[in-house]
Amino acid sequence: MRITSKGQVTIPQEIREQRGLLPQTEVEFELTENGVLLKKAPGVRPRGRAIVQHLRRRGDVQLSTDEILALTRGTE
């Protein structure tokens, strides 16, 4: 990884997924003896709520609730 001229780095997707680091996740940096530690800021929402909030209103399929239930149940 390289730090950009704006001081930014990309956290690899695998690490973001394993640690629940979604867009808008608050993080903090801690100086350690060996470098810098990145961690979620205290008081963050539980991962499940953060995921739901992130996905809210992103669907692009216009189905009614009944149509969705029919699809998931395998009925027509």
Model pLDDT for residues 7-55, shown as the tens digit of each residue: 999 999 999 999 888 888 889 999 999 999 999 888 756 677 778 888 8
Question: Are the CB atoms for 45 and 30 separated by under 8 Å?
Answer: no
Which residues constitute the domain of residue 18?
Answer: 13-73
Per the domain annotation, does 20 fall within a domain?
A: yes
The stretch 50-70 carries a mean pLDDT of 84
Q: Give the pLDDT score at 55.
A: 84
Q: Give the pLDDT score at 14.
A: 94
Per the domain annotation, does 34 fall within a domain?
A: yes
Structural domain count of the chain:
1
Per the domain annotation, does 37 fall within a domain?
A: yes
Per the domain annotation, does 4 fall within a domain?
A: no
Q: Give the pLDDT score at 28.
A: 93
Q: Give the pLDDT score at 12.
A: 94
Per the domain annotation, does 62 fall within a domain?
A: yes
